[in-house]
Structure 1
């Protein structure tokens, strides 16, 4: 028997996850139920997916065997207080909010509840997310396996200790912004060199995509792949040296340290 999956909140990330789940042949639109803050957003999602919606969070809590809390971090406490008496006895609560600890969720529910903490990043919107997952002591292995299987529908995941989520924020949660800046900078340089902007964005984006895929599919060290491009006395090594002169790696490392510190102290 398939599990019933509920989403409280269905913004950009929640919607991306829902669309990913619908690519799984074992999950139907009748297995998913969502709540939204406004009728307009609920109707839009229903029109796009055929999934039922409600404005009542408690209805979704009563429905779900696996309940995703896809609301903003500052809404977690109030939403949990609202639904705590309506969730099923063995429900699996899945959080996706940065800065919300397992212990916070346990305290707000005021009773023992199975919790899996996750952090997907925005590329989940195109089925290429990278998520971190941890869990509390009540989660059984088969329950963890089930939720991890769901995350495979919109990208990849890694099991981490909760203490490492701040580093994950810097590495994956925030890094799409760094990559977008890199693509934009490359495109700006290409425009300066005479390439039309629309073509520059396409070519820069494809180069980044292809390079990342090369790392993942070959399993080679990024430094080895870099060396393969750098011919002796060639154009690429000239560019690499200039990046190093401008502090490229140090800038990335320093930015990620700042990001992780901010995450830890929020």
Structure 2
């Protein structure tokens, strides 16, 4: 794995510093990004962002931003069209463009930013905002090995990064990890409701469900063991967990529903990108 600090760009401009962009910026600064060579473009900066920029010496909304080595796009996807004319001059022939804009393809970005050649399209998810995300990324053919290392270092500030050989697989990433946190939150919600139906007070059911989901996720992250093996380890033959899994794993149960849900999300992602 390349050294993170060495792989970070010599100069960077972040466009959009909301929850996701702001969290990534914090991760970059913690990882060694030079704040004196960092520019933030955010039309409505929060007091916290303004204070961070002032304290660390980052340029916030300069009148004449310079062409950076890396330009990271973290604006809302629907805001790209309006922002593109002002961003186009920031893209030089050697600028690496990294986009986390959902539904915006590499072709979309190149059309909006005519100078863009080396483009990385990434799909992070909500836990990236606390540095525990899962991101799928795809690079245009013009991205050099060094630029890919740079993009990897930037994206790893938000958590796991998986590189895809085919940009078309981004729709599947969106369906699995991009939308996936909502599936997990639904599990916690449904488990709490089931606990209430079983007789538990709502507050206790909610806290038990929440701690069970978050604790199981932490265990899954801490263990190298496959998820299926962890499931088998907690399932005693003929026991209570086995009785529950017989319901969840039947033909029309959780695995089938998740396959259907992921397929629906992937299809919708393709429609939105098209």
TM-score over 0.5 (shorter chain): yes
The residue aligned with 1:153 is 157
The residue aligned with 2:228 is 223
Rounded to whole Å, the distance in 2 between the matches of 1:204 and 1:35 is: 40
Aligned residues: 261
The residue aligned with 1:209 is 214
CA RMSD of aligned residues (A): 2.4
Quick one: which of 166, 177, 192 aligns to 1:187? Answer: 192
The residue aligned with 1:78 is 82
- Could you tell me which runs of 5 or more consecutive residues in structure 1 were left unpaired when the two chains were aligned: none
TM-score normalised by structure 2 residue count: 0.85
Residue 254 of structure 1: CA displacement? Answer: 0.6
Quick one: which of 257, 261, 266 aligns to 2:267? Answer: 261
Rounded to whole Å, the distance in 2 between the matches of 1:7 and 1:202 is: 38
Residue 199 of structure 1: CA displacement? Answer: 5.0
The residue aligned with 1:177 is 182
Q: 1:45-65 deviations in whole A, cap 9, x for unaligned?
A: 122563545446x744x2532
The residue aligned with 2:133 is 129
Residue 9 of structure 1: CA displacement? Answer: 1.2
Rounded to whole Å, the distance in 1 between the matches of 2:135 and 2:202 is: 32
Residue 44 of structure 1: CA displacement? Answer: 3.2
Quick one: which of 239, 242, 247 aligns to 2:247? Answer: 242
Q: 1:208-242 deviations in whole A, cap 9, x for unaligned?
A: 23333444444333222211111111100111112
Q: 1:62-107 deviations in whole A, cap 9, x for unaligned?
A: 2532111111222223322222224344211111111111112122
Q: 1:124-169 deviations in whole A, cap 9, x for unaligned?
A: 1111010111111221101111220122222110001201000000
Query: Quick one: structure 1 residues 22 and 200, their matched pair in 2 at CA, closer, same or farther if it must change by over 3 Å?
Result: farther
